[in-house]
Amino acid sequence: MTIDLEALRALQIADMRFVYGERETMLYALSVGMGQDPLDARELPFVYEGAGLRAVPTMAVVLASTGIIRRLGIDFAKILHGEQRLTLHRQLPVAGELLANSRVSAVYDKGAGKGAVLLLETTARLAADDLPLFSFVMTIMARGDGGFGGPQGSGPEPHQLPDRPPDHIKAFKSRPEAALLYRLNGDRNSLHADPKAASRAGFDRPILHGLATYGIACRALLRGACDYDSGRMRSFDARFSAPVYPGDEIVTDIWRDGDTVSFRCRVPARDAVVLNNGRCLLGSAP
């Protein structure tokens, strides 16, 4: 397909309204592994309203899905989600009404047969006060759409991990039904539920959503770098590098340098790095 560069630059979605509540907040936390130990008092506040409910910060990426990706005019069968970057302007509330805007913030042409890179930016504010709450950027690799004469490049440079052993290592075994839980947050792609769809895509069984692995990494950093103080997270960025299967043990390597936390996620059973070049910025709790 041929990308219409001017049409992409003009594409805007404005003030799309979303409402979420405590149910969605608890469901997201469960879908990224919170609450597996019902006696863990540190995780209970993320899954039980009676313990002073708190939101997992990365839930922001599922709260304002404007559908802009479906309006890009690209070959949807040949896209990959390459990277996710999240900025939290303030602590995510456990319930709220949002107004979201989306646009294509950048497009890069890697050449015919090599594809294109698109950066899709969404900003959300609370309807109650009309002030910014969070923003995120999805990097999309459009493998079937290169050679349209657009600017060259490949997007932001990845964060470089420290060249030393990790300061902390956190391991969590994902639930066997993790993909079936996570899809209830809104991504109903059959690749994550239907064995036949997974087989057509070259997998022997349904795979976990990349953003579910992203959320599992957030859980690991909440434990390993924040003592579960979710209000300290200011940003959360990572690159997707390999698929995860529900039931995999995911090991997160964590490096702490002041308020900058670097991380990557591995599946030791397959010697695979599944999330890479991760960076989380911390600040003071409100």
Residues 79 and 121 sit within 8 Å (Cβ to Cβ): no
**Quick one: tokens of 25?**
């907040």
Element (H, E) at 44: helix 44-47
Q: Is 187 a catalytic residue?
A: yes
Strand order in the sheet with 249-257: 12-20, 96-109, 116-126, 132-142, 79-88, 233-240, 272-282, 260-267, 249-257, 168-173
User: 101: how many CB neighbours lie within 10 A of its CB?
Assistant: 18
Distance CA 106, CA 9 (A): 8
Q: Is 89 a catalytic residue?
A: no
Among 4, 40, 75, 187, which one carries the catalytic annotation?
Answer: 187
Among 109, 192, 237, 248, which one carries the catalytic annotation?
Answer: 192
Distance CA 131, CA 129 (A): 5
The set of catalytic residues is 187, 192
